[in-house]
Chains A and B, each alone.
Chain A
Amino acid sequence: MIMRTDERPASLAEREERLTETSTLPASERIMSPPGPAVIELRGFSAYYGNFRALHDVSFRIPAKQITALIGPSGCGKSTLLRCINRMNDLVPSFRHEGLMTYHGVDLYDPAVDPVEVRRRIGMVFQKPNPFPKSIYENIAFGPRVNGIKGNMSEIVERSLRRAALWEDVKDKLSQSGLALSGGQQQRLCIARALAVQPEIILMDEPCSALDPIATLKIEDLMKELAKEYTIVIVTHNMQQAARVADNTAFLMMRPDRAGELVEYSDTDSMFTAPKDKRTEDYITGRFG
């Protein structure tokens, strides 16, 4: 990981020791673990906007090269959690956190960690497709150019568009504006843009909610294809989508103090056939509220 200064990041053990000394971690923390090596791990992670606690004591592991879905009612902290993973919340002045979030064992919030590098390695796709007001080619080339990624730019553009299953649609009109594409194509352009900077993880915040059903299914197919090479974390309000695409599903709910907490986390088959927590059962069967 590229560091902002010459200072070495604290090792995980050192960081944990520091945290334990002034610990806000609960005595009985539970880390929910799906199968497979973890690329992101949260231990007692809480997120605050000023005095308001948006996330309370979240602990779980996100396995590599799988799709993990975050589901739950509105306001339960799913998007906050997602934005914490790539430090997008750093852009909110009142944001602060407690607990630990690591990426390959390195504390993501260590002062020596460069958040720009974090966001290169952990890309993001948003709910509303947001291509740059540039050509399709430039939409893809911008990221590698800014990040100093070497190589034949045309090859990088083609490779990224192919991985996003968009090349055949746009190969003859790369100079056209990205904004001229359909909604589904724009979203795939945004995915290609994220892929161009060679991330390891792709975060998707309700990537299909603005798309028609056919475009949605195409994005879902793409997600499954991308999961062979990338780790994907998706926030979705569509439980059937989570059931269709996710390998693992995390269910969050709002506590009485309005902080989001992780209620249950398991493989998707178990989550949707035999959830362990009644709150999960009530939510996914639509009896919630």
Chain B
Amino acid sequence: MTRAAFEKKLRELQDEVLVMGSMVEKALRRSVDALRTRDQALAQQVVSEDVQINATRYDLEEKCIHTIAREQPMAADLRELVAILFIANELERMADHAEGIGRISLMLGAEPLPRPLGAISEMADRASDMLRRSLTAFVERDEQAARNICDEDDVIDEMYDASFQELIHEIVRTPEHVQHFTYLIWTCHNIERIADRVTNVCERVIFMVTGQLQEINVSRY
């Protein structure tokens, strides 16, 4: 096949996106675990390891830029490289949100939470699953899968709204725990933003496949 070396480079960049996605998924999972189990060491690990995810993003970006300069890609190849640039940025921002949850965990200290995480854990699981499947859609160039994932963001948004209302209610009911519940609201917000960024990844997958740039995740506000 012609351009075998270029094909190999594209596959390597694809693999690096998956590796970065895996790092982000792990950060999210660990940050919520640390919050649930009050594991300060684990929370600190999430915060510290964000630096590595940032470095991975810049490394991936640099490789994409070099590939564009040297290979002068066209059409689908160009769209893939541009998509990788944007996806790397979105993954890094997701990792920042996971790091934010880690910091919340550290700020809460070792005290137990005034109530179980409940729906917050489920939100995190869903967001993590959406992320994993969005990267599968990227690898498999599956436009429909990407669109379906974008639809699922509505569920996360509804869970966020419900959790927000519940936590506000808890603040009113037990004002002595206002700080705890405020931190949990921030945690929900971080997870909701991760899911939003997953839809941005899906938009780039759709662009990569179709060449169409389209806002899928339209804000309700």
> Which of A's residues lie within 8 Å of B, judged by CB?
239-240, 243, 272-275, 280-281, 284-289
Contacts of B52 in A (CB 8 A): none
Top 5 A-B residue pairs of the complex, sorted by shortest distance between their CB atoms: A274-B211, A284-B74, A286-B3, A272-B74, A281-B75
Q: Is B218 an interface residue (CB 8 A)?
A: no
Once the chains bind, are A289 and B2 in contact (CB under 8 Å)?
yes
Q: Give the distance in Å from the alpha carbon of A286 to the alpha carbon of B1 in the complex.
A: 10
Q: Is B79 an interface residue (CB 8 A)?
A: yes
Q: Is B41 an interface residue (CB 8 A)?
A: no
Contacts of B77 in A (CB 8 A): 285
Once the chains bind, are B211 and A273 in contact (CB under 8 Å)?
yes
Contacts of B76 in A (CB 8 A): 281, 285
Contacts of A243 in B (CB 8 A): 74
A175 to chain B, nearest CB (A): 43
Q: List 30 A-B contacts (CB under 8 A).
A: A239-B74, A240-B72, A243-B74, A272-B74, A272-B75, A272-B78, A273-B78, A273-B79, A273-B211, A274-B75, A274-B79, A274-B210, A274-B211, A274-B212, A275-B75, A280-B75, A281-B75, A281-B76, A284-B74, A285-B3, A285-B73, A285-B74, A285-B76, A285-B77, A286-B6, A287-B1, A287-B2, A287-B3, A288-B2, A289-B2
A27 to chain B, nearest CB (A): 31
Nearest CB in chain B to that of A276: its residue: B211
How many interface residues does B have (CB within 8 Å)? 15
Once the chains bind, are A273 and B75 in contact (CB under 8 Å)?
yes
Nearest CB in chain B to that of A272: its residue: B74
Q: Give the distance in Å from the alpha carbon of A240 to the alpha carbon of B2 in the complex.
A: 17
Q: Give the distance in Å from the alpha carbon of A274 to the alpha carbon of B78 in the complex.
A: 9
Contacts of B79 in A (CB 8 A): 273-274
With beta carbons under 8 angstroms apart, the residue of A240, A285, A288 that contacts B75 is A285
Contacts of A273 in B (CB 8 A): 74-75, 78-79, 211
A99 to chain B, nearest CB (A): 30
Q: Give the distance in Å from the alpha carbon of A240 to the alpha carbon of B71 in the complex.
A: 11
Contacts of A285 in B (CB 8 A): 3, 73-77
Nearest CB in chain B to that of A281: its residue: B75
B49 to chain A, nearest CB (A): 37
Give 19 new A-B contacts, CB below 8 A, not counting A273-B78, A286-B3, A287-B2: A239-B74, A243-B74, A272-B74, A273-B74, A274-B79, A274-B211, A274-B212, A280-B75, A281-B75, A284-B75, A285-B3, A285-B73, A285-B74, A285-B75, A285-B76, A285-B77, A286-B2, A287-B1, A288-B2
Nearest CB in chain A to that of B79: its residue: A273
Q: Give the distance in Å from the alpha carbon of A272 to the alpha carbon of B75 in the complex.
A: 5
Q: From A240, A243, A272, A280, name the one whose CB has the most chain B CB atoms within 10 angstroms.
A: A272
B 1-13 to A, binary, CB cutoff 8 A, 1 in contact else 0: 1110010000000
Contacts of B75 in A (CB 8 A): 272-275, 280-281, 284-285
Contacts of A281 in B (CB 8 A): 75-76
Contacts of B3 in A (CB 8 A): 285-287
Q: Give the distance in Å from the alpha carbon of A194 to the alpha carbon of B79 in the complex.
A: 40
B93-131 interface with A by 8 A CB criterion = none
Nearest CB in chain A to that of B211: its residue: A274
B93 to chain A, nearest CB (A): 25
Nearest CB in chain A to that of B77: its residue: A285
Q: Give the distance in Å from the alpha carbon of A274 to the alpha carbon of B77 in the complex.
A: 10
Q: Give the distance in Å from the alpha carbon of A240 to the alpha carbon of B69 in the complex.
A: 12
B118-156 interface with A by 8 A CB criterion = none
Contacts of A286 in B (CB 8 A): 2-3, 6
B63-86 interface with A by 8 A CB criterion = 72-79
B86 to chain A, nearest CB (A): 15
Contacts of A239 in B (CB 8 A): 74
Q: Give the distance in Å from the alpha carbon of A274 to the alpha carbon of B73 in the complex.
A: 12
Nearest CB in chain A to that of B207: its residue: A274
Nearest CB in chain A to that of B6: its residue: A286
Contacts of A272 in B (CB 8 A): 74-75, 78
Q: Give the distance in Å from the alpha carbon of A240 to the alpha carbon of B211 in the complex.
A: 20
Contacts of A289 in B (CB 8 A): 2
Q: Give the distance in Å from the alpha carbon of A239 to the alpha carbon of B168 in the complex.
A: 60
Q: Give the distance in Å from the alpha carbon of A280 to the alpha carbon of B210 in the complex.
A: 15
A289 to chain B, nearest CB (A): 7
Nearest CB in chain A to that of B2: its residue: A286
Contacts of B212 in A (CB 8 A): 274
Contacts of B2 in A (CB 8 A): 286-289
Q: Give the distance in Å from the alpha carbon of A136 to the alpha carbon of B2 in the complex.
A: 45
A266 to chain B, nearest CB (A): 12
Contacts of B210 in A (CB 8 A): 274
